[in-house]
C-alpha cells in the first residue's frame, strides 16, 4: 500500500515537473504569456512605449494596439543579420502617421545581460527598446524558441492579448511583413 | 520496508533533481537550422588547471581555418591576447560565444588585444561551423592533432577529449593576467572579459 502511494506521488511529481519544463511556444491564435519588464531608463524609450514612472511594467501597459516582439540574442549570428531588416521595419512604421502610434516593436535578449544587450543595440543602432532576459525566464516561458523569433499580438483594451503571428527566422521583406500584420490585426 | 521507502524517496529526489537540472540555459540561433547537437547537461568542470595568474603562458603553434599557422609568440610585445577555448563545434553554447565576440571587436581593439579561438575539432569541421557564423575577425585554431595538446598544456582538456570553456587573458610580455575556466554549460558574461581588458589601458 505504501509503495502504491509512493508510486502515485512519484508519478504526480514527474508529471508536474515535466509540464513545468516543456512549455510550448504560443502559436497564432493563442495568448502571449503575461510578462513583466523593467521600465527603460531612457526617456525617449519610455515615451515610445507610453510608460510612466519607474520599476516594472507589463506588456499590456504598452501604449499600442499591436506589439511586435522579437526574441533575439546578441550572440546569435542570424539575429545579427536580421537587425538591419527589423530596423527598416521600424523606420517604415515610423514614417506612417496612420499606424505609427498603434504598432510598436520591442526586443527581448534571451540570456543576455544588460551590457550584452547594449553592445547589440550600439552595433546595429537599434531605435526601439531592447530588454535583457538574463535568466532566460521569458525565453523559457515561450518554449525555448530558436532566435530570432517573432511574436506579434494585438493588445485588447482589457489588457488581454491575441497572437496574430508566431514564427522563427527572418521576417523577410519588412514592407510585406507590415502589410501582413495590418491585415491580420484588422487595424 | 523502511529501507525500501527510504530508497524510493531518494529515487524520487534524484529523479526530480535530474529533471530540474536539465533545463536549458541557452538559446539556439536559427542560423544553424537545427543542426546543433544537444549534449545535455555536462559536468561543469572536468580537468585540473595547471596554470595560474602570473605564470608565463605556454607557447604553441597551431593551424588556423584560414590556412596559416599561428603561434602565441608572434604577438609577443605587440598585442595582448585572449585565448578562448570552446568545447566543440556544433554544440549549443559554443555556437553562440564567438558570434558574440564577433560584434565586440571594438573592445578588443580599444585595449590593443587580439582574440584567438581554439577547439579540438579538425579544420574541415571548424571551417563548416565557423562559416555559419559569418566572417569572424579573429583566427580560429585547430587543436586536433596531437589531439588536444594545447588544451592539455593549459590544463583544460576534459576526460572525454574536448576542452573546457575557458578564457585566458595574456599580456604583451606573455604573462597570464586572468583565467576563467567556466562552467561548460554556460556562456561567460561579456562584461567580465571586457573589465579584464580595461585593466590593460587603465
Q: What is the pLDDT of residues B158-187, one digit of tens each?
A: 999 999 999 999 999 999 999 999 999 999
Residue B181: inside a domain: yes
Residue B26: inside a domain: no
Q: Does A8 touch chain B (CB under 8 A)?
A: no
* Sequence-ordered list of residues with C-beta below 8 angstroms from that of A98, at least 6 positions apart, any chain: none
Q: What is the CATH number of domain A26-185?
A: 3.40.30.10
Number of domains making up chain B: 1
Residue B154: inside a domain: yes
Averaged pLDDT, A159-173: 97
Is the complex ipTM higher than 0.90? no
pLDDT at A175: 98
**Contact in structure between B120 and B152 (CB atoms under 8 Å):** no
Using a CB-CB distance cutoff of 8 angstroms, which residues of chain A are in contact with residue B20? 17, 21
pLDDT of residue A12 exceeding 90, the answer is: no
**Contact in structure between A73 and B96 (CB atoms under 8 Å):** yes
pLDDT digit string (tens) for B37-66?
A: 888 899 999 998 899 999 999 999 999 999
Q: What is the largest CA-CA distance in chain B?
A: 71
pLDDT digit string (tens) for B84-127?
A: 999 999 998 878 899 999 999 999 999 999 999 999 999 999 99
Using a CB-CB distance cutoff of 8 angstroms, which residues of chain A are in contact with residue B134? 77, 80-81
Domain housing B167: 46-201
Residue B29: inside a domain: no
Q: Which of B12, B24, B191 sits opposite A13 (nearest CB)?
A: B12
Distances A137 to A104, A112, B94, B96 between C-alpha atoms, Å: 22, 11, 21, 19
Could A147 and B134 be called an inter-chain contact, meaning their C-beta atoms sit closer than 8 Å? Answer: no
Residue B39: inside a domain: no
Task: Give chain A's mean pLDDT.
Answer: 92
Per-domain residue ranges of chain A? 26-185
Question: How many Å is the Cα radius of gyration of chain B?
Answer: 19
**What grid cell was written down for A90?**
521600424
pLDDT at B13: 53
CATH of the domain at B167: 3.40.30.10
Residue B82: inside a domain: yes
pTM for this prediction:
0.87
Residue B136: inside a domain: yes
Amino acid at each position: 500500500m505504501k509503495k502504491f502511494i509512493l508510486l502515485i506521488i512519484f508519478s504526480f511529481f514527474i508529471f508536474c515537473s515535466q509540464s513545468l519544463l516543456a512549455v510550448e511556444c504560443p502559436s497564432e491564435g493563442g495568448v502571449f504569456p503575461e510578462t513583466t519588464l523593467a521600465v527603460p531608463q531612457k526617456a525617449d524609450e519610455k515615451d515610445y512605449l507610453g510608460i510612466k514612472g519607474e520599476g516594472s511594467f507589463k506588456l499590456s501597459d504598452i501604449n499600442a494596439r499591436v506589439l511586435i516582439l522579437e526574441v533575439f540574442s546578441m550572440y546569435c549570428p542570424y539575429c545579427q543579420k536580421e537587425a538591419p531588416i527589423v530596423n527598416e521595419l521600424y523606420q517604415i512604421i515610423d514614417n506612417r502617421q496612420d499606424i505609427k502610434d498603434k504598432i510598436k516593436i520591442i526586443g527581448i535578449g534571451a540570456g543576455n545581460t544588460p551590457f550584452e544587450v547594449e553592445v547589440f543595440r550600439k552595433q546595429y543602432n537599434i531605435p526601439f527598446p531592447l530588454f535583457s532576459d538574463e535568466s532566460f525566464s521569458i525565453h523559457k516561458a515561450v518554449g525555448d524558441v530558436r532566435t530570432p523569433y517573432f511574436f506579434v499580438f494585438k493588445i485588447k483594451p482589457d489588457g488581454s492579448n491575441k497572437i496574430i503571428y508566431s514564427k522563427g527566422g527572418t521576417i523577410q521583406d519588412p514592407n510585406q511583413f507590415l502589410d501582413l500584420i495590418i491585415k491580420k490585426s484588422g487595424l | 520496508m523502511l529501507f525500501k521507502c527510504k530508497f524510493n524517496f531518494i529515487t524520487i529526489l534524484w529523479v526530480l533533481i535530474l529533471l530540474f537540472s536539465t533545463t536549458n540555459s541557452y538559446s539556439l540561433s536559427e542560423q544553424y537550422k537545427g543542426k546543433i547537437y544537444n549534449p545535455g547537461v555536462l559536468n561543469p568542470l572536468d580537468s585540473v588547471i595547471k596554470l595560474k595568474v602570473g605564470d608565463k603562458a605556454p607557447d604553441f603553434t597551431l593551424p588556423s581555418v584560414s590556412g596559416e599557422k599561428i603561434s602565441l609568440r608572434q604577438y609577443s610585445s605587440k598585442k595582448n591576447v585572449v585565448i578562448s577555448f570552446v568545447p566543440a563545434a556544433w554544440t549549443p553554447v559554443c555556437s553562440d560565444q564567438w558570434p558574440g565576440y564577433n560584434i565586440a571587436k571594438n573592445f578588443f581593439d580599444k585595449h590593443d588585444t587580439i582574440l584567438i579561438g581554439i577547439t579540438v575539432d579538425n579544420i574541415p569541421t571548424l571551417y563548416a561551423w565557423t562559416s555559419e557564423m559569418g566572417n569572424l575577425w579573429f583566427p580560429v585554431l585547430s587543436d586536433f592533432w596531437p589531439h588536444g595538446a594545447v588544451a592539455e598544456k593549459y590544463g583544460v582538456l576534459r576526460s572525454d577529449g574536448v576542452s573546457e570553456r575557458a578564457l585566458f587573458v595574456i599580456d604583451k610580455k606573455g604573462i597570464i593576467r586572468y583565467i576563467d575556466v567556466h562552467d561548460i554549460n554556460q556562456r561567460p558574461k561579456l562584461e567580465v572579459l571586457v573589465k579584464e581588458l580595461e585593466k590593460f589601458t587603465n
